[in-house]
A and B are shown apart, each in its own frame.
Chain A
Amino acid sequence: MLKSSNTDPKYQGRSAAFVFSSNVGTNITANLTIAEVVGTPLVERVIPNPAYVEAGPCPCDLWENQCDTECCCDTECTQDDLDIFTSCIQGALGGNQTKELAQYCSFSGGPQEDWDRLLCVERDNSPYLGLFYDNPSAIRTETAFRTTYEANSPQYSYDETERRETVETDSSLAYRFGVRCKGVPTPLSCYPPPLSNPPQVLSQHGGVTTVPTTVEYFCLTDPSVYVRSTTTADDVYIFNQTSLFADNVASAMQRCAFDDGFTFPPTPSLNGTTDTCSNVVLDVRYVLSWRGTELTGVASFVILGDVVMETVSPDDGTNSSTVLAQKFGVEFSYDSLNETADGTEIVDRSGIPGYDVGKVLLTGTLSLTNDSVENIGSSGLQVWSPGADGLCTSASRTAVTFGEDSISGCTVRLAWDNFQDCATLRADVRAQQEALVTAEFVSRGGNPNSTFITDWVPVINNDTADPTEAPTVAGLEPDVVDQLQGLCQDIPAALNLEILYADVGKENEFIIQEVVGARVSFSSTLWRLQCSGAFAAACYGNSSALVDLGNTSTIADLISGAVQSFYITSSVTFTRVPALTPTPVKRYYANDTNVCRRNACWEELFYPVSMAFAGGDFQLYQHNLGSGLVLALFIIAVFVITRPWW
């Protein structure tokens, strides 16, 4: 910046100027391949004993036999060099070893801690104290390397120290939990391989006995479950499409026509004209039956289907290729000897004798003879398991698991017309909700006996009024509220399942938990179309409401049947209750919080010898108590011997 008062004629009348000059010389590049090696690479520097000679008198002296720039202590620098240095390197690097720490007694300058003055360090640079490092020479031979390495080998390294296990070393003939099953191909196989290396004949470990496998093929007409769908939320949540509940059509899979147990499945093939890939393997499930430590059989289930390939057109910018998701699964199934004898299906027991957390609740219904429980399984108490789009049409149900509070639900989309008949809507919702709780009994523990009714607790459901009848309010017509337009009251939209459980005992430090009560209730909700805001169009979905407005029939057509979302939920709550009814306590003594108030409660008056100090460790508590008693004994002994007061 040059001020305008500058008298230089070059800058007259200018408030600012920028002068740039550059000197463009020839490009000088060093050819380092022909550079001369200065110094002798194999000669090591001999450092004199630092006890008597300063080892690094001039740390900035980096180059041997050369003067280092700005390094005034470098003895190779001539007086001419020193004259052209603009400044000398300061401090220890420049050879001035006079740094003073705050702890030194000779320290002067800068803040010091109080104790630095009191306990200052007197520094003496005498060599007589010194313990100095050796000056090891460079390792140039393998012998020297080995010697040095072995003397100083690290404690931890990236060496591979474990032996690699390629062979199962267990020599017993039985399977154990976690050991890989061995599939051995055999030339005698009658069964076509569904995959490149299937377990056709299963050898027990060691190859003593073999068990045959079965393969069943199923042909799926609609393989859409396995194809990545291109449906977007906008395709599902259409503003004028209502959606209520699914029609409960269970599609059973059919065995393939060719599958007679011997015929090979057809090879997957692509039809170029229809873009259909036929007989694609969609799903493979292996069910391994076991008993004891042996496998008793393997069943394979292969699902085939015809997949229509989308033509990939990269130009239109959308990803329209078909993505197929193949699924594979292995399941171990216990092969009971008694299964064929009594004909009953095996039910997964949920822990013995109580329930394990996360296992399904066992449910059942009362038999006709009223003396036993039948239909034992886990399907009697369920919660919603929403499908991919969250609508109730695609929702399925999942079993209630012990100890886990849960909430789930699904969405229904209702238009003005759905609110015309509240009784039907209410009955529909109630029927769907009650289908979740078909059980009359819940097992107390994980291993119930169906003939002992005491092993079961009833599911209390006081809410079983006929859903088609609207509740009667005294003095009013039964459905006066229902006659209001656009709303329906008393919809059982929320199902609440409350389960009480108790700790009934302890087995090997594991708490036994049993269900002691179960209740089903419905929370009634008022469903009302919102007639304000962004979704108010649903309120005018009744086209007759707009006819009066005159020539707006096009708008009426447009918004006719607009829908809003309503939610159906199911929730499960587990509540721990005392196993025995607790005895009543006076309020003054009640300490439900189980804490020591203000750390000054009477229980912890002698805190060092209390259980609270030991933190529940009984041995530590005993140790503390013993120490306390020894201390007390010692004090008493002192008083007895010294007799200060008598």
Chain B
Amino acid sequence: MRSHSSRSKKMAVLEIYAHPVLHRYKTSICTKATVFVFACFLLTFIPPILVAYRSQGFWQREATYREQPDVSFKHQILLLLQTSQTGDYLVWSTYQNFNQLQQGRVRVPLVKSREEDSNRDGKSDALQMTVEVPLLDTEEVYSVDLLLFFQYRLYIFSTFTMECMAYLHHTSPLPGADLTVAGDLRLHQKYPLGHTGRDTRFNTSIIDSTSIFPSAYDLRTIFESYSGRNVSTNFLTYYPVWRTGRATGQPFVISATVRYPEETILYKPGFWQLIKWGWVQYISILLVFLFVFDRIKTFVFENQILNTIVDSPTKKFKQG
């Protein structure tokens, strides 16, 4: 009977509106409550930053992005063939000073190259090239060193330009008829790039083509200085095919496919990106602390564990 009446009473009452009641707790400046609130303030805002920082990865020191480089073959070549096992060699390069130094060792090849844009996005995707080196029947090729020079550009973050190099190399104890390689021109970074600006630190000639001294064209010199660069490229090929059996009067043929793949590039994020990611981490931890300390403060002041003057809308007259 009783329950029935209470249910009917409940059913009759509707909550049609609600608003929070604000309780104000007041005290003077030199009290425990003030110290407590101040301590709560510090404990709310300082620990999140410590938690975020000490759990590692707070400041985003480096980030990556992907970009297909804009590579173009500079039509500059340096070619070296070992034509006997006793040290005879043939060379050719597009550097006339070098050719002039080598005189009788120079054998001008027939070089054909083209750059393909297979996906038609305006950037070349691969270089196809063939080098036909005419040889006498008495000359046998045991080793090939071929340097190809490229212009390498990146645009998305820092506008990066450099001259870079692909080094094709193969040695065989068997005299060859042709060499076929296919590989990728991969970016090699020692340090992250900047996030903005124009970067032409390495847009310098790898070979000093104005030099009339042989040392400028020595592979040891070239590689020594090139490997010291912070940013360079490597030609990576795992599948060279060296075929033997060169027929009478046939040239030695080098066929190369150099692909320009999309690269994952490391860069240093800018100030605002740093701040943004820090803020995201800080605020997510801060929310937990705010909630917890809000509950603690509510508990402490609601139960008057620390004495304060309660300025409550419902208890206003009682306190006054």
Contact = CB atoms under 8 A, between A and B. Distances in A.
A390 B157 CA distance: 48
B158 to A, nearest CB: 9
A525 B99 CA distance: 14
B107 A386 contact: yes
B197 to A, nearest CB: 11
A134 B272 CA distance: 65
Contacts of A226: 248
B180 to A, nearest CB: 17
B80 to A, nearest CB: 15
Contacts of B195: 598
Contacts of A564: 103
Interface string B266-304: 000000000000000000000000000000000000000
A384 interface: yes
A383 B110 contact: yes
Given A228-B137, A231-B138, A595-B155, A565 B109 contact: no
Contacts of A594: 121-122
Interface residues of A, number: 54
Given A233-B139, A574-B114, A325 B248 contact: yes
A411 B108 contact: yes
Contacts of B249: 225, 229, 325, 388
A404 B136 contact: no
Contacts of B67: 595
A567 interface: yes
Contacts of B109: 386, 408
A409 B94 CA distance: 11
B61 interface: no
B208 interface: no
A633 interface: no
Interface string A282-307: 00000000000000000000000000
Interface in A212-232: 225-232
A189 B114 CA distance: 50
A530 interface: yes
Given A325-B247, A405-B112, A594-B122, A567 B106 contact: yes
Interface in B142-159: 155-157
Contacts of B135: 388
A80 B134 CA distance: 83
Interface in B106-137: 106-114, 119-122, 134-137
A401 interface: yes
B70 interface: yes
A389 B135 CA distance: 6
A598 B157 contact: yes
B96 A567 contact: yes
B311 to A, nearest CB: 30
Contact of A406 (B110, B137, B248): B110
A567 B103 contact: no
A385 interface: yes
A599 interface: yes
A22 interface: no
- Provide the main secondary structure of the chain B interface: loop
Contacts of B100: 530, 565
B104 interface: yes
Contacts of A535: 103
B110 A408 contact: yes
Contacts of B94: 407
Interface in A613-646: 616
A572 B96 CA distance: 18
A410 interface: yes
Nearest to B196: A598
B218 interface: no
A567 B88 CA distance: 21
Contacts of A384: 108, 110
B114 A403 contact: yes
A233 B136 contact: yes
Contacts of B110: 383-386, 398, 406, 408
Interface string A144-157: 00000000000000
A534 B100 CA distance: 11
B77 to A, nearest CB: 8
Nearest to A385: B110
Nearest to A383: B110
B134 A386 contact: yes
A565 B104 contact: yes
A351 to B, nearest CB: 15
B111 A408 contact: yes
Given A325-B247, A390-B106, A594-B121, A406 B136 contact: no
A534 B136 CA distance: 24
Interface string B75-111: 1000000010000100000101001110110111111
B134 A387 contact: yes
Interface in A180-232: 225-232
A389 B134 contact: yes
Nearest to B99: A567
A597 interface: yes
B155 A390 contact: no
A599 B136 contact: no
A595 B195 CA distance: 15
Interface in A376-418: 383-390, 398, 401, 403-411
- Which 7 residue pairs of A and B lie closest in terms of their CB atoms, listed nearest first? A325-B248, A237-B104, A408-B110, A409-B108, A390-B107, A406-B112, A595-B155
Given A565-B100, A598-B156, A616-B119, 6 more contacts: A386-B108, A405-B75, A405-B112, A406-B112, A525-B96, A599-B65
13 contacts: A227-B248, A230-B137, A233-B83, A357-B114, A383-B110, A388-B251, A405-B75, A408-B109, A409-B108, A525-B96, A535-B103, A567-B106, A567-B108
